[in-house]
Amino acid sequence: LEACNRYETYMYNTLEDTRATIRAVGDNLVLHADTYHMNIEEEGFYMPIVNTADVLAYIHMSESHRGLVGSGTVNWEQVWRGLAEIGFAGTLTLESFAAINPDLAAATCLWRPPRQSSETIAREGLAFLKAGAAQAGLI
């Protein structure tokens, strides 16, 4: 169950909100975090990750502007430190968007093209995530 920001939904805006529902439902649900939404809703990155470790299984690693990870305002040091502390063994996935598909661009409110090409975002984004995961001892 993904926690999304208040501009997209009124339910499950923070990781803790989402965790409460997951715990009420049971083991058939896991927490899907997204650093893009966390950047809007959370007061930081480290504590929400640590506090929801018991249900956290999947994370969209996304930048504040949904472009190249590492080039926006997401505090990646807090993200990696939190994941290292909990020994995260779930799935990390790169989530960046380009305005190539008009329907996807409209659905994700991409009103301008990213500064980098899709290929650069994928290549450099993957390198950024691999380096961070290695430094955090996750791989």
Token pair recorded at residue 113: 């093209």
Q: Among the options 2, 77, 85, 124, which is catalytic?
A: 2
**How far apart are alpha carbons 120 and 90 in whole angstroms?**
26
* β partners of residue 58: 32, 91
2 part of the active site = yes
At 52, which amino acid appears? Answer: T
Q: State the DSSP code for 35.
A: H
**How far apart are alpha carbons 16 and 51 in whole angstroms?**
8
Q: Which residue has the tokens 């993957």?
A: 126
**Contact between residue 47 and residue 73 where contact means Cβ atoms under 8 Å apart:** no
Q: Among the options 41, 95, 119, 124, which is catalytic?
A: 95
Residue 70's nearest CA partner among 127, 15, 117 is 127
8 part of the active site = no
- Catalytic positions are 2, 95
